[in-house]
């Protein structure tokens, strides 16, 4: 097992492929899905903003007490890129992923998880203890 360090949070990078282009084309539908996903995850929503691009595509951000949810869509490719960054152990990211995947009718979902705020010093007990993987170790000085 790898070296133990503390991490302030985790960052999920979610690739949603084969999405229904109509569902990820419009600000109203993307905003509605992402807000509901954050609620289902039991995240504490502070504020949000979504923007529609011409001819198509949507970008949006939800600021949560625990950090953020963000999305960028490419309807012409049936693709949505979603990030969930949280410093909370109580946010249920899987509930959000399941809801977004179903709502956008994604045919393929890939999730990568990164530990963020890796601290190698004495810190309070609130940050999570994690193991560094080999890729992280390669880039350490």
Q: Considering the entire predicted model, what is its pTM?
A: 0.81
pLDDT confidence of residue 140: 36
State yes or no: is 121 an active-site residue: no
pLDDT confidence of residue 123: 54
Distance from chain centroid for Cα 2: 25
Mean pLDDT (whole number) for 92-107 = 97
pLDDT confidence of residue 116: 76
Indicate if the pLDDT at residue 133 is higher than 70.
Answer: no
Q: Which residue's entry shows tokens 């869509």?
A: 73
Instruction: Say if CB 106 and CB 22 are below 8 A apart.
Output: no
Among 87, 88, 101, 103, the one annotated catalytic: 87
Q: Which residue's entry shows tokens 């977004």?
A: 100
State yes or no: is 67 an active-site residue: yes
> Where residue 8 falls among pLDDT bands split at 50, 70, 90?
confident
Q: How long a stretch of residues is the chain?
A: 141
Residue 98 buriedness (CB in 10 A; 0-12 / 13-18 / 19+): middle
User: What 3-state class would DSSP assign to 57?
Assistant: coil
Domain ranges of the chain: 9-117
Mean pLDDT (whole number) for 104-129 = 76
Return the bridge partners of 42, or none: none
Indicate if the pLDDT at residue 136 is higher than 90.
Answer: no
Among 25, 67, 88, 103, the one annotated catalytic: 67
- CA nearest neighbour of 93 among 102, 83, 103: 83
State yes or no: is 72 an active-site residue: yes
> Where residue 4 falls among pLDDT bands split at 50, 70, 90?
low
Angle formed at CA 59 by CA 56 and CA 60, multiple of 5 degrees:
145
CATH 3.60.90.10 fits 9-117, yes or no: yes
Distance from chain centroid for Cα 5: 22
Tell me: the pLDDT tens digits for 28-83? 999 999 999 999 999 999 999 999 999 999 999 999 999 999 999 999 999 999 99
């Amino acid at each position: 097992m790898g070296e133990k360090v503390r991490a302030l949070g985790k960052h999920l990078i979610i690739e949603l492929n084969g999405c229904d282009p109509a569902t990820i084309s419009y600000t109203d539908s993307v905003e509605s899905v992402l807000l509901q996903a954050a609620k289902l995850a039991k995240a504490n929503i502070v504020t949000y903003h979504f923007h529609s691009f011409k001819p198509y595509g949507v970008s949006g951000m939800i600021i949560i007490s625990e950090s953020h949810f963000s999305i960028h869509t490419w309807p012409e490719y049936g693709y949505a890129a979603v990030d969930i960054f949280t410093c909370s152990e109580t946010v249920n990211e899987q509930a959000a992923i399941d809801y977004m995947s179903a709502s956008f009718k994604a045919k393929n979902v890939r999730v990568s998880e990164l530990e963020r705020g890796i601290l190698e010093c004495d810190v309070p007990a609130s940050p999570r203890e994690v193991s560094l993987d080999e890729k992280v170790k390669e880039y350490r000085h």
